[in-house]
Amino acid sequence: MTALDLSSPVAVVGTGTMGQGIAQVALVAGHPVRLYDAAPGRARAAAAAIVARLDRLVEKDRLTAADLPHSRLRSSGGTPIAARARLLVAENLTDLADCALVVEAVLERLDVKQELFRALEDIVGDDCLLATNTSSLSVTAVGGALANPGRLVGLHFFNPAPLLPLVEVVSGFATDVTYATRAYETARAWGKTPVACADTPGFIVNRIARPFYAEAFAVYEAQGADPATIDAVLRECGGFRMGAFELTDLIGQDVNESVTRSVWESFFNDVRFTPSLAQRRLVESGRLGRKTGQGWYDYSDETGAAERSEPHTAEPGQRPAYVVAEGDLGPASELLQLIREAGIQVREDEEDHGTRLVLPSGGQLALADGQTSVEFRDVVYFDLALDYRRATRIALSASQDTAPQTLAEATGLFQALGKDVSIIGDVPGMIVARTVARIVDLAHDAVAKGVATEEDIDTAMRLGVNYPLGPFEWSRRLGRNWAYALLDDLHMRDPSGRYAPSLALYRHAYATDKREATS
C-alpha cells in the first residue's frame, strides 16, 4: 500500500505544540489539513500560529512555493495562498468525516485517547487510517477499545516535528500490516525518516536511551563525579551532543522522569530501567530545569544561560618518558599512535600480559572494564572515547590506594596528548564505557525480541537523540565481546540485575563471526 495521495485530507486532533507541528508537516507536504481541539478557540489560534510560522519561514527564504505543493506565493510575500486555503479549522469531530488520516496529539491518558478514537470510528470512513502520537502509552491498549483496531498505528513524531526527521511507526498487537505500511510510506512522503517498531514500552528511542540518563545519575549518586564533570566527559570524550544533566534540564526533569517511570512500570519494575532517586528529589523540589529556572543547573540569569560549576580538570601531571604496551588496548588501540606522535616512547612487551600500559613508576593504565582500581595494585583506569584523537577530555579513575606517582604519570600522559583530564572516583565502568555498554545491550535485546531491526535502531538513535553512532555501529567498532565483558564485570560487583548482560548480548559475544570464519 502506497502513501496517501496529496489530495487526501489529513486531520490533527489536539493543537498543542506537537499537534501544531504535525499539522504543519502535513500542510507543507501538500495535504488539506483539518485542525480540531475540544477546547473552544484553541484550534483557530493554532491555525493562526501555524500560518505565522510559515510566514516567517517564507520571509527568511527558508520556505518557497516549491516547498509547498499546489501553492503560489502571494505578490506581497507571506504564506502561499493555496497553503492557507488548505488549512481549515473543524468545529466538530463530524467535520473530519472525509479525512483519510486522523492523528491524535491529545492528553497522555489512555481513557481520553480511547474515547476519542471510539468517537472517530463512528464518523470517518472504514478505510481511514487512525494514528496516535503517544510516546508512553501502549498502542495496543489505545486500539483495544476500537471495533477495528487493525487500522490504528502509532506515529510518534519528535519535538519539534517540523525540524526533527525521525518518526517511529509503531504497530500494535492488532495493527494490520497494510495500515502500518501506509503510515510508513506517508511519513516518508512527508520528508521524514520512518522506522518500523513493535509496540513495546518506550518504543525504540525511549527504551534504548534510558541508560544514557540512568548511568550518569548513578555515577552522581555514588559520588563518583559532579554533574558538570559527568556532562563534560559525555560530550568531550563520549562524543554526545549534550550531557545527561543538561539534556534533562532542557527536556524537563518531570517529563524525563515520567518517561523513565513509565518504561520501568511497563516492564514490571525491571531493575534495568529503575528511575533515579536523585532525579525524583529534584522533581519533588520543583526544580524542573530550564522551564522553572533551576534544575541540575541554575538558569535564573536573564539570558537563560546555565550557571554551572566548571568540570573538574586536573592540574598538570608528570609527563612520562615512555610507556610499555601490554597487548593492543582493544578499542583504545589508537592511543599508541597518539603517544608516539607526542614524542613519548612506546615499548612493546612481546609477552601478552593483558591490555594495559605500564608507566615508568610501575603503575598501570587500563581501559575501563567494569572492575575497580581498589581491586588491583596501582591501576588507573581511563574511560572509553568515541575517537581518542578528537577527544578533548579523558576521565581517569583511581582509588584511595592508587600511588600518587601513578596518577600523576597517567594524568601527564593524557595531557601530553592535548587532553583535559578529569579525575573521578573509583567507579567501575566509569562514565562513557558503562553507558555505551548498556545502550549496546538494550539494542541487542530489542532486536532479539522483535522490536525493530538493527538498521532501524541505529537510525532511530542517531536521528531521535543525536547519538554520534548507532548502538550496532558502536558494537561493531568496539568488538564482539567488549560490551558483554564489561557488563559481566559490573554484574559481579552489583548483582542486583541492573548490569546483567542480556541473553542476546551473550549470544552475540560468543557466536562465531561467519565473515571471520571464511576469511
Residue 295 CA to residue 351 CA, distance in Å, equals 51
**Sign of the torsion angle spanned by Cα atoms 198, 202, 207, 212:** positive
Task: Report d(CA 317, CA 408) in Å as an integer.
Answer: 5
Rounded CA-CA distance 124/417 in Å is 65
Alpha helices in 222-300 (DSSP H): 227-236, 244-251, 253-266, 277-284
What percentage of the chain's residues is helix, strand, coil (to nearest 5)? 45, 15, 45
Task: Give the domain ranges of the chain.
Answer: 10-199, 322-424
How many Cα atoms occupy the beta-carbon half-sphere of 180 within 13 Å? Answer: 19
Residues sharing a CB contact under 8 Å with residue 256, sequence separation 6 or more, in sequence order: 213, 248, 279
Contact 464, 426 (CB under 8 A): no
CA angle 13, 16, 73 (to 5 degrees): 85
Alpha-carbon distance of 57 to 186, in angstroms, equals 24
Query: Looking at residue 69, what is its pLDDT?
Result: 64
Question: Which amino acid type is present at position 395?
Answer: A
91 is catalytic: no
Cβ-based neighbours of 127, under 8 Å, separated by 6 or more = 100, 151
DSSP 57-107: HHHTTS--GGGSTT----TT-SS-HHHHHHEEE-SSGGGGTT-SEEEE---
**Cα–Cα separations (whole angstroms), residue 220 to 244, 382, 442:** 11, 18, 22
Strand, helix or coil for residue 30: coil
Do 226 and 232 touch, CB atoms closer than 8 A? Answer: no
Q: Which amino acid is at 161?
A: A
Residue 108, sorted as left (phi over 0), alpha (psi -120 to 50) or beta, turns out to be: beta
Q: Return the number of other C-beta atoms located less than 10 Å from residue 301's C-beta.
A: 10
By the 8 A CB rule, do 4 and 33 touch? no
**Which is the catalytic residue, given 136, 206, 276, 397?**
206
Query: CA 67, CA 51: separation in Å to the nearest integer?
Result: 15
What is the rounded distance in angstroms from the CA atom of residue 3 to the CA atom of residue 31? 12
Instruction: Return d(Cα 90, Cα 33) in angstroms, integer.
Output: 10
Cβ proximity of 467 and 436 under 8 Å: no
Catalytic residue among 135, 171, 256, 475: 135
Q: Which three cell numbers stand for residue 3?
A: 502513501
Please tell me what DSSP assigns to residue 175: -
| Burial class of residue 66, CB neighbours in 10 A (0-12, 13-18, 19+) | exposed
Given 1.10.3720.10, 3.30.70.1400, 3.40.640.10, 3.40.50.720, which CATH number is that of 10-199?
Answer: 3.40.50.720
CB 227 within 8 A of CB 297: yes
The active-site residue, picked from 121, 168, 246, 257, is 168
Predicted confidence at residue 309, as pLDDT, reads: 78
As assigned by CATH, the class of the 322-424 domain is alpha beta
519 residues of the chain, pLDDT tens digit each = 689 999 999 999 999 999 999 999 999 999 999 999 999 999 999 999 999 998 888 888 777 655 666 665 554 456 666 778 899 999 999 999 999 999 999 999 999 999 999 999 999 999 999 999 999 899 999 999 999 999 999 999 999 999 999 999 999 999 999 999 999 999 999 999 999 999 999 999 999 999 999 999 999 999 999 999 999 999 999 999 999 999 999 999 999 999 999 999 999 999 999 999 999 999 999 999 999 999 999 998 766 566 667 999 999 999 999 999 988 889 999 999 999 999 999 998 766 556 789 999 999 999 999 998 888 878 999 999 999 999 999 999 998 889 999 999 999 999 999 999 999 999 999 999 999 999 999 999 999 999 999 999 999 999 999 999 999 999 999 999 999 999 999 999 999 999 999 999 999 999 865 544 444
β-pairing, 152-157 vs 166-171, is antiparallel
Look at residue 518 in the predicted model and tell me its pLDDT: 43
E strands, 418-489, are 420-424
Does the annotation mark 108 as catalytic? no
Q: Which of 284, 295, 275 is nearest to 221 (CA)?
A: 275
| Core vs surface per residue 173-189: b (16+ CB within 10 A) or e | ebbbeebbbbbbbbbeb
Beta bridge partners of 323: 346
Q: Residue 350: what pLDDT? A: 66
Residues 6+ apart with CB under 8 A from 8: 31, 32, 99, 100, 101
Distance from C-alpha of 148 to C-alpha of 209, rounded to nearest angstrom: 33
Find the helix or strand (DSSP H, E) in which 144 lies: none
Examine the residue annotation and report whether 206 is marked as an active-site residue of this protein. Answer: yes
How far is 80 from 64, CA to CA, in rounded Å? 8
Alpha-carbon Rg for the chain, nearest whole angstrom, is 26
| Active-site entry in 156, 312, 444, 508 | 156
Backbone phi, psi, residue 195, to 5°:
-130, 140
Please give the C-alpha separations between residue 491 and each of 370, 371, 439, in angstroms, as whole numbers.
Answer: 9, 10, 15
- 353 is a catalytic site residue: no
pLDDT of residue 300: 86
Peptide bond into 160 cis (omega under 30): yes
Whether the Cβ atoms of residue 397 and residue 368 lie closer than 8 Å to each other: yes
How far is residue 323 from each of residues 82, 217, 343, 412, measured CA to CA in Å? 70, 34, 11, 12
